[in-house]
Amino acid sequence: MQRLILKSKNHRAMKQREALFRRFGYDSAASLKFVIAKALPLPGHVLEIGTGKGRFLAAMAKHADRITTLDVDAKQQRAAKLHVHQTRAGRRIRFVAHDAEHLPWPDAGFDTLASMNTFHHLERPMRVFEEMLRVLKPGGKLVLCDFSPRGFQIFDRIHRFEGGTHPRLKHGLAGFGRTLRRPGWKTRRFKGCNQEILVATAPPAPTKKKNHT
Ligand SMILES: C[S@@+](CC[C@H](N)C(=O)[O-])C[C@H]1O[C@@H](n2cnc3c(N)ncnc32)[C@H](O)[C@@H]1O
């Protein structure tokens, strides 16, 4: 009963927040739909960086078999749990509260790495990006998404309206795309619905030479 009340309180709070975003020109549902369409498929075990309130997580859960989601803030993850349970997607999701600068997994353990609207909140985004690459399997997929310049303008206005400020991601996603200009990487970039997306595929593992003796 208590959980049901918490779930509907959380749902109401998220809907109110989304209504405010819409007034300023950001449509959360349309942005998620756009990002998911560019991100699909989401193969294998997906690791999400930056759970937040779980909007991207709930959208991915409709398409992914298994997701682990990481956020440094356990309070955000409690809200995200309520949100994904509301959407009945919770069973295949594991929540981990940890700093993304030091991912608590060995190298090459995940098939897909994904993150939405989180990188502008990171103190050292390149450090986190390198960690994401470290835990990605050869041949794995990377989906990195953040606001477009227009999206950042909208969130600047929302936060100013609320008496605060909103961080920006210096140079957008361009720097991360440049980092992947390495042999074997395939990258694509998309822009739409106030979002920028980088979708990349890592080179496959080198095949072992057969020893003919
Ligand atoms: C705007 S929210 C992410 C939104 C979320 N992806 C969604 O779709 O609802 C950004 C999140 O990044 C998390 N974060 C910031 N720095 C972090 C770090 N070093 N490691 C892990 N999470 C971090 C914050 O706690 C916050 O929950």
Return the domain boundaries, the chain: 26-201
Domain 26-201: give its CATH code. Answer: 3.40.50.150
Residue 67 has what pLDDT? 96
**50 CA distance to ligand 1 centroid (A)?**
3
- Ligand 1 atom with the smallest distance to the CA of 80 is 9
**211 CA distance to ligand 1 centroid (A)?**
48
Cβ of 18 closer than 6 Å to ligand 1, yes or no, is no
The answer to whether the CB of 200 falls within 8 A of the CB of 141 is yes
Cβ of 176 closer than 6 Å to ligand 1, yes or no, is no
Average pLDDT for residues 124-137, to the nearest whole number? 97
Report the predicted TM-score, pTM, of the whole model to 2 decimal places.
Answer: 0.94
pLDDT tens-digit map of 46-100: 999 999 999 999 999 999 999 999 999 999 999 999 999 866 666 789 999 999 9
**166 has pLDDT over 70:** yes
Share of residues in the chain with pLDDT > 70 (%): 96
> Using CA positions, which residue lies closest to atom 13 of ligand 1?
50
Share of residues in the chain with pLDDT > 90 (%): 85
Residue 172 has what pLDDT? 87
Residue 18 has what pLDDT? 97
Phi-psi region of 49 (alpha: psi -120 to 50; beta: other; left: phi over 0): beta
Cβ of 100 closer than 6 Å to ligand 1, yes or no, is yes
Residue 4 has what pLDDT? 86
Mean pLDDT of the chain: 94
Cβ of 69 closer than 6 Å to ligand 1, yes or no, is no
